[in-house]
C-alpha cells in the first residue's frame, strides 16, 4: 500500500493535460519486451563470427608482476589471442577522475582481481580454460590493507603520490566549541556491493574505418568513450558506443570495467568479441561502496539545540581512485546531516590501500555519514531525555538555513515535516503473534522457525537524511538532448535522442512523458542512447531525470517557438498575437493551426546542451563554498522484531516520507523509494563484502546476501511535492535519498529493542546478542556520552587506537 500525497505546485509548461504526460503513471515503453523475455540485455548480444573474451586476474592483493607467459594458452585449440599491457596501443591507464588504473597490470598488481591479461576464444568454456593456462609469475608484496595504518606517514605507499587521495576539511564557527551536553561515538560501515543482477557484459565489433562499435551496459557512455579511445590510441570519433540493455547499475557501472578490454580484443582479432562476467568475476570487476570509520562528537545545549559537531571520517578507497575524491566531498559537506549546526569541524579522508577499489554506489558518501550522525542524534536524545523525533525536528534545517559550507538552502527543505509524517503514520499491530505469522509476516529467523516468539522484542527507530543532486564542487555538468518533430503516417511524431542511460529507473519513460506534455504529441520515439549525440553526463547522483528534463524541456520550448514563427508567417500575423496550447497554435481570429499543418514545410529539429546552475569548488582549508545544486530529503521509521537470543532481526514495517519536488512519474518514484529503502535494509542487516588481508571472502550470491522478498516488510511511502524553483518542473532527484536514511532507521530500531550501541553495519547476530568482538571491542569503544565537555577527542580515530572499554562503560551518565 503506497500513498502519494502533497500538493503539486507546478504543472507542465505546455498547459493542458496530456495523457501519459508529465505527472502521469505512464507505462515503461520497454516493459512489454521485458516481461516477455524479449528485451536484449548486454549479456544477450550476438554477432556472426563472434568470439568470447575473458580476463586473467591477480590472485594477490599486492605483488610484483614478474612475467606473463601466454604460450600454453595460445596452444589450446580455439584460442585466438592473449593480450597484456604491451598490447595496449594508447594510454596504459584509465580512470573516471584520474587515470591511475592500468588497463592491464604493469609492473605491480594493487588489488586482488586486478586485470592482468585478456584472452579471446571460440567459446566461453575455451576462454575459461585459456585464462587458467596463462602462466603469470607474481612476487607477492606486503599489502597495505589497514586504512588507519595506510594514513601514517611511515606506511608503504600504494601509489607514489602517497596514500591520502583527499583530505576534506570543513570549518565553521568555533571548532573548539563547548556545550553542556556532549556525546561521542565511533562508527563503522562495511563494504557494500551494488549487486545489480545483470552481469557486466557487452559486444565490441571492429569497424571498417579502423575504429570499433561497442554495445555495453553502462551509466555514462561518453566517459566510457573518452577512456576507451585514449587506451586504443584512436580519435573519439572512431569509437562509437551504444547502450545495451542494462540490468541495474546503482553506481557500479559508472567506471569502466570491460569496455576497453572488449575493444582491444575486437581490434586484435578483427572479430566481434563478447564478454560476460560471471557473478564471482563481477564482484572483482566493479568498484564498491567505500567502507568507512567515523568518529563523531556532538555538543548540544540543554534544550537540545546543537552547538557543535566534530567528526573525523576515514574512507577506504582501495587500490585506485575511481570517484573517491567526489565521495569524500559529499561525505564532508553532508557530514552533519540536514541540521543547523553553528560550529563544525570535520576532517574526511579518502585513502588508497590494496583493498578492492571503491567508488560510486547509490548514496555516494552520504550513506556512511548518515549512519553515524543519526546514531549520534539518538544518543543525544537519550542523554537529553527527548524523543528522537523531537530532537531532530528542533535542529532540522529548513528553507533559508545555512549548510556548514555556508551555502544557503534556497528551496524547500521539509526535514521536520518528513519526520512528523513518518512518526504519525499508523504503527503495525503489536506483535508478533502466531496469527501474524500466518497472515502478515514472519518472526525473526523466518521460515527456519527458530523461535515461537520467546525472546523476541520489538523496537522502533527513526532517521532522516539528505543527498546532493547532480555533480557538485564546480563540475561542468551538462546533458545534451536532440528532439525531432516530424509528420508521421498516423500523426506527428516526436523523436527524442540522448546519451542518457536507462538503467531500470525509467529515464526512457520520463523522456516520452516530457515530450508529450511539451509538444502535445501522442507518439514519441525514444531512440537508443548512444554517442551519435553529445554527452548526457552520468546516470548517477540522482541527476539524470533532472538534467534530461531540463534539456528536453528547453529543446521542446525552442521547437514551439519555431512553430509559432511558422504559424505567424502562414497567418500573416505577429507572433505576439499567437499562443500555444496543447499541440496547437491559436490565432487572434479563432484560427487554429495543428501540428500536421505546422509540420507541412518539413520536420523540425533542435539539439540542446543544458546545464544546471553552476556550483563552486570549496575552500581547501575550510570547505566553505556553494558546492551543491540541490538536495533531496527522505525520512524513515522502521519497526523491527529482534530475537534477542539468536540475534536475528525481522523488519516488520518501514514508513518513508520523501520530498520529490515534482513526481514526473509517480509510479516510478515509488519504485525508486521502495528499491532504495531495500538496499538500505541490506546494508543494515546483511550486505558486506568481507575482505581479509586484501582478499574477498564472499564473492557470490551464496555468501554475499541481498534482501529477498522474505526480508522486506510492507513499505508505506508518503511523497511530498514541494517544487524547487530552480529545477525543471520543480523536481528533485529521487534515486538516492531513500537508501540513505533507511539503514540508520533500522539500526536505531534494533538498538531500541536491544539496548545495545551497535556502532557497525551490517549488524551481525553476534553484535545483537552481545557476543564476539563487538561486545568487548567495537561496542565498548563506542565513545562516551556525558555532560559538560569540549569537542576534543575526535582525532583519536587517526591519532591512535581507542582504548577498549567493557560493555556498557560507554553509556555515560544521565543528564543531571
Calpha distance 630→468 (Å, rounded): 6
Residue 308 contacts by C-beta under 8 Å, 6 or more apart in sequence?
Answer: 173, 174, 175, 177, 178, 179, 297, 298, 299, 341, 342, 343, 344, 345, 791
DSSP structure string for 547-616: HHHHHHHHHHHHHHHHHHHHHHHHHTS-GGG-EEETTEEE-TTS-EEEHHHHTTT--EEEEEEEEPPP--
DSSP designation for 238:
G
Q: Quick one: 361 or 750, whose CB is closer to other proteins?
A: 361
CA-to-CA dists, residue 26 to 2, 507, 763, angstroms: 17, 12, 39
Q: By CB under 8 A, how many residues form the interface with other proteins? A: 66
The answer to whether 702 contacts other proteins (rule: CB under 8 A) is yes
Residue 27 site contact among other proteins, ligand FES, none (CB < 5 to 8 Å, cut-off depends on kind): other proteins
CB of 504 to other proteins, least distance (A): 3
The answer to whether 486 contacts other proteins (rule: CB under 8 A) is no
Residue 679 site contact among ligand FES, other proteins, none (CB < 5 to 8 Å, cut-off depends on kind): other proteins
Residue 541 and residue 361 in contact, taking contact as beta carbons nearer than 8 Å: no
Residue 448 contacts by C-beta under 8 Å, 6 or more apart in sequence?
Answer: none
Q: Quick one: 438 or 801, whose CB is closer to other proteins?
A: 438
CA-to-CA dists, residue 517 to 18, 29, 436, angstroms: 6, 16, 46
Quote the strand ranges of 36-194, DSSP E. 51-57, 63-69, 79-83, 93-94, 101-102, 108-109, 115-121, 135-140, 164-172, 178-189
The answer to whether 124 contacts ligand FES (rule: CB under 6 A) is no
Contact pick of 32, 66, 197, 569 for ligand FES (by CB under 6 A): 197
The answer to whether 35 contacts ligand FES (rule: CB under 6 A) is no
Calpha distance 769→456 (Å, rounded): 12
The answer to whether 707 contacts ligand FES (rule: CB under 6 A) is no
CB of 34 to other proteins, least distance (A): 3
List the x/- string, 504-533, binding to ligand FES by CB under 6 A: x-----------------------------
Residue 236 site contact among other proteins, ligand FES, none (CB < 5 to 8 Å, cut-off depends on kind): none
Grid cell 545545549 is found at 301
Calpha distance 776→764 (Å, rounded): 15
The answer to whether 248 contacts ligand FES (rule: CB under 6 A) is yes
Quote the strand ranges of 254-357, DSSP E. 273-276, 292-300, 306-316, 343-351
Q: Quick one: 272 or 504, whose CB is closer to ligand FES?
A: 504
Calpha distance 203→214 (Å, rounded): 6
Scanning residues 617 to 676, which ones bind other proteins (CB under 8 A)? 667-668, 670-671, 674-676
Residue 50 site contact among ligand FES, other proteins, none (CB < 5 to 8 Å, cut-off depends on kind): none
Span from 43-51, 53-61, 259-267, 391-399 in contact with other proteins (CB under 8 A): 43-51
Q: Quick one: 304 or 675, whose CB is closer to other proteins?
A: 675
Residue 199 site contact among ligand FES, other proteins, none (CB < 5 to 8 Å, cut-off depends on kind): other proteins
List the x/- string, 502-521, binding to other proteins by CB under 8 A: -xxxx---------------
Residue 505 contacts by C-beta under 8 Å, 6 or more apart in sequence?
Answer: 539, 544, 545, 668, 672, 735
Span from 247-255, 342-350, 760-768, 803-811 in contact with other proteins (CB under 8 A): 247-255
List the x/- string, 490-509, binding to ligand FES by CB under 6 A: --------------x-----
CB of 127 to ligand FES, least distance (A): 19
Span from 96-104, 193-201, 520-528, 554-562 in contact with other proteins (CB under 8 A): 193-201
CB of 438 to other proteins, least distance (A): 7
CB of 603 to ligand FES, least distance (A): 36
- 624-647: burial string, b at 16+ Cβ within 10 Å, e else: bbbbbbbbbbbbbbbbbbbbbebb
Q: Which of 600, 617, 465, 450 is nearest to 542 (CA)?
A: 465
Q: Quick one: 124 or 248, whose CB is closer to ligand FES?
A: 248
Quote the strand ranges of 122-251, DSSP E. 135-140, 164-172, 178-189, 201-206, 212-216, 239-243
Span from 4-12, 189-197, 401-409, 530-538 in contact with other proteins (CB under 8 A): 189-197
Calpha distance 125→153 (Å, rounded): 47
Q: Which of 550, 609, 546 is nearest to 735 (CA)?
A: 546
Contact pick of 94, 250, 283, 315 for other proteins (by CB under 8 A): 250
The answer to whether 667 contacts ligand FES (rule: CB under 6 A) is no
Residue 264 site contact among ligand FES, other proteins, none (CB < 5 to 8 Å, cut-off depends on kind): none
Residue 320 site contact among ligand FES, other proteins, none (CB < 5 to 8 Å, cut-off depends on kind): none
The answer to whether 251 contacts ligand FES (rule: CB under 6 A) is no
CB of 526 to ligand FES, least distance (A): 19
Report the residue number whose CB is nearest to ligand FES.
197
Calpha distance 508→183 (Å, rounded): 47
Residue 675 site contact among other proteins, ligand FES, none (CB < 5 to 8 Å, cut-off depends on kind): other proteins
CB of 385 to other proteins, least distance (A): 35
Span from 129-137, 462-470, 497-505, 525-533 in contact with other proteins (CB under 8 A): 497-505
List the x/- string, 61-100, binding to other proteins by CB under 8 A: ----------------------------------------
Span from 99-107, 326-334, 434-442, 531-539 in contact with other proteins (CB under 8 A): 434-442
Residue 240 and residue 212 in contact, taking contact as beta carbons nearer than 8 Å: yes
CB of 247 to ligand FES, least distance (A): 6
Cell reading at 652: 516488520
Q: Quick one: 45 or 752, whose CB is closer to other proteins?
A: 45
The answer to whether 710 contacts other proteins (rule: CB under 8 A) is yes
- Decide: residue 270, CB within 10 A, 0-12 exposed, 13-18 middle, 19+ buried: exposed
Calpha distance 438→758 (Å, rounded): 31
700 — phi, psi (to 5°)? Answer: -160, 160
Cell reading at 386: 527527548
Contact pick of 248, 488, 491, 786 for other proteins (by CB under 8 A): 248
CB atoms within 10 A of CB 803: 9
Phi-psi region of 61 (alpha: psi -120 to 50; beta: other; left: phi over 0): alpha
Residue 440 site contact among ligand FES, other proteins, none (CB < 5 to 8 Å, cut-off depends on kind): other proteins
List the x/- string, 673-692, binding to other proteins by CB under 8 A: -xxxxxx-------------
367 — phi, psi (to 5°)? Answer: -65, -50
Q: Quick one: 302 or 697, whose CB is closer to other proteins?
A: 697
Q: Quick one: 583 or 738, whose CB is closer to ligand FES?
A: 738
- Decide: residue 1, CB within 10 A, 0-12 exposed, 13-18 middle, 19+ buried: exposed
Calpha distance 124→509 (Å, rounded): 35
CB of 555 to other proteins, least distance (A): 26
The answer to whether 247 contacts other proteins (rule: CB under 8 A) is yes
Calpha distance 248→43 (Å, rounded): 13
Helices (H) and strands (E) in the chain, counts: 20, 32
Q: Which residues bind other proteins (CB under 8 A)?
A: 2, 25, 27-28, 30-32, 34-41, 43-44, 46, 124-125, 194-199, 245-248, 250, 276, 278-279, 437-442, 447, 503-506, 667-668, 670-671, 674-679, 700-702, 706-710, 712, 714-715
Q: Which residues bind ligand FES (CB under 6 A)?
A: 197, 248, 504
Amino acid at each position: 500500500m503506497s500513498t502519494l500525497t502533497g500538493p503539486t505546485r507546478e504543472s507542465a509548461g505546455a498547459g493542458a493535460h496530456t495523457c501519459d504526460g508529465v505527472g502521469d503513471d505512464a507505462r515503461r515503453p520497454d516493459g512489454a519486451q521485458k516481461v516477455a523475455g524479449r528485451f536484449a540485455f548486454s549479456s544477450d548480444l550476438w554477432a556472426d563470427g563472434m568470439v568470447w573474451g575473458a580476463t586473467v586476474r591477480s590472485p594477490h592483493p599486492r605483488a610484483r608482476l614478474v612475467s606473463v607467459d601466454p604460450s600454453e594458452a595460445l596452444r589450446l585449440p580455439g584460442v585466438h589471442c592473449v593480450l597484456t599491457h604491451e598490447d595496449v596501443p594508447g594510454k596504459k591507464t584509465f580512470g573516471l577522475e584520474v587515470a591511475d588504473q592500468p588497463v592491464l597490470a604493469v609492473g605491480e598488481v594493487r588489488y586482488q582481481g586486478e586485470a592482468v591479461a585478456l584472452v579471446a576464444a571460440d567459446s566461453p568454456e575455451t576462454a575459461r580454460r585459456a585464462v587458467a593456462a596463462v602462466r603469470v609469475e607474481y612476487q607477492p608484496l606486503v599489502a597495505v590493507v589497514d586504512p588507519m595504518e595506510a594514513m601514517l606517514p611511515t606506511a608503504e605507499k600504494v601509489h607514489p603520490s602517497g596514500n591520502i587521495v583527499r583530505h576534506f576539511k570543513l570549518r565553521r564557527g568555533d571548532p573548539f566549541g563547548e556545550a553542556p551536553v556532549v556525546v561521542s561515538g565511533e562508527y563503522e560501515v562495511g563494504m557494500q556491493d551494488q549487486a545489480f543482477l545483470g552481469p557486466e557484459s557487452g559486444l565490441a565489433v571492429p569497424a571498417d574505418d579502423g575504429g570499433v562499435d561497442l554495445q555495453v551496459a553502462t551509466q555514462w557512455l561518453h566517459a566510457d568513450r573518452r577512456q576507451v579511445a585514449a587506451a586504443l590510441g584512436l580519435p573519439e570519433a572512431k569509437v562509437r558506443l551504444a547502450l545495451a540493455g542494462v540490468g541495474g547499475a546503482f553506481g557500479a557501472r559508472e567506471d569502466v570495467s570491460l569496455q576497453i578490454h572488449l575493444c582491444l580484443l575486437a581490434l586484435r582479432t578483427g572479430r566481434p568479441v563478447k564478454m560476460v562476467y560471471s557473478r564471482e568475476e563481477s564482484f572483482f570487476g566493479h568498484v564498491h561502496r567505500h567502507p568507512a570509520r567515523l568518529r563523531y562528537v556532538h555538543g548540544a545545549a540543554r534544550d537540545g539545540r546543537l552547538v557543535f559537531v566534530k567528526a573525523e571520517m576515514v574512507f577506504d578507497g582501495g587500490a585506485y581512485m575511481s570517484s573517491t575524491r567526489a565521495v569524500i566531498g559529499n561525505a564532508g559537506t553532508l557530514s552533519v546531516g540536514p541540521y543547523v549546526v553553528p560550529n563544525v569541524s570535520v576532517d574526511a579522508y579518502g585513502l588508497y590501500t590494496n583493498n578492492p577499489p571503491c567508488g560510486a554506489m547509490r548514496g555516494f558518501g552520504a550513506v556512511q555519514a548518515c549512519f553515524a550522525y543519526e546514531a549520534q542524534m539518538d544518543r543525544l536524545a537519550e542523554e537529553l531525555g527527548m524523543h528522537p523525533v523531537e530532537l531532530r525536528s528542533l535542529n532540522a534545517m529548513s528553507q533559508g538555513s545555512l549548510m556548514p559550507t555556508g551555502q544557503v538552502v534556497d528551496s524547500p527543505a521539509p526535514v521536520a515535516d518528513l519526520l512528523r509524517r513518518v512518526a504519525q503514520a499508523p504503527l503495525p499491530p503489536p506483535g508478533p503473534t502466531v496469527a501474524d505469522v500466518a497472515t502478515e509476516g514472519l518472526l525473526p529467523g523466518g521460515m527456519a522457525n527458530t523461535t515461537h516468539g520467546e525472546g523476541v522484542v520489538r523496537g522502533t527507530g527513526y532517521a532522516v537524511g539528505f543527498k546532493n543532486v547532480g555533480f557538485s564542487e564546480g563540475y561542468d555538468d551538462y546533458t545534451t538532448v536532440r528532439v525531432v518533430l516530424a509528420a508521421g503516417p498516423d500523426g506527428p511524431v516526436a523523436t527524442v535522442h540522448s546519451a542518457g542511460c536507462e538503467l531500470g529507473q525509467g529515464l526512457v519513460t520520463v523522456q516520452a512523458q516530457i515530450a508529450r506534455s511539451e509538444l502535445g504529441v501522442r507518439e514519441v520515439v525514444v531512440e537508443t542512447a548512444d554517442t551519435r549525440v553529445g554527452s548526457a553526463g552520468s546516470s548517477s547522483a540522482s541527476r539524470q531525470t533532472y538534467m534530461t528534463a531540463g534539456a528536453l524541456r528547453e529543446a521542446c520550448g525552442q521547437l514551439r517557438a519555431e512553430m509559432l514563427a511558422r504559424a505567424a508567417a502562414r497567418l500573416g500575423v505577429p507572433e505576439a498575437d499567437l499562443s500555444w496550447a496543447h499541440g496547437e497554435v491559436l490565432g487572434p481570429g479563432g484560427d487554429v493551426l495543428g501540428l500536421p499543418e505546422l509540420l507541412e514545410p518539413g520536420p523540425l529539429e533542435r539539439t540542446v546542451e543544458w546545464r544546471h546552475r553552476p556550483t563552486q569548488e570549496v575552500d581547501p582549508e575550510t570547505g566553505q563554498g556553494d558546492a551543491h545544486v540541490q538536495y533531496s530529503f527522505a525520512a524513515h521509521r522502521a519497526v523491527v522484531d529482534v530475537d534477542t537470543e539468536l540475534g536475528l532481526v525481522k523488519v516488520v514495517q518501514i514508513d518513508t516520507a520523501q520530498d520529490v519536488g515534482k513526481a514526473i512519474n509517480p509510479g516510478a518514484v515509488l519504485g525508486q523509494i521502495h528499491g532504495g529503502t531495500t538496499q538500505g535494509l541490506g546494508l543494515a542487516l546483511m550486505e558486506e563484502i568481507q575482505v581479509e588481508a586484501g582478499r574477498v571472502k564472499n564473492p557470490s550470491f551464496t555468501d554475499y546476501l541481498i534482501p529477498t522478498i522474505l526480508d522486506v516488510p510492507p513499505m508505506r511511502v508518503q511523497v511530498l511535492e514541494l517544487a524547487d524553483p530552480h529545477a525543471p518542473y520543480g523536481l528533485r532527484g529521487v534515486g538516492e535519498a531513500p537508501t540513505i536514511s533507511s539503514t540508520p532507521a533500522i539500526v536505531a530500531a534494533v538498538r531500541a529493542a536491544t539496548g545495545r550501541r551497535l556502532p557497525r553495519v551490517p549488524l551481525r547476530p553476534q553484535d545483537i546478542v552481545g557476543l564476539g568482538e563487538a561486545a568487548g571491542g567495537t561496542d565498548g569503544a563506542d565513545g562516551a556520552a556525558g555532560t559538560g565537555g569540549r569537542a576534543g577527542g575526535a582525532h583519536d580515530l587517526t591519532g591512535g587506537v581507542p582504548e577498549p572499554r567493557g560493555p556498557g562503560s560507554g553509556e555515560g551518565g544521565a543528564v543531571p
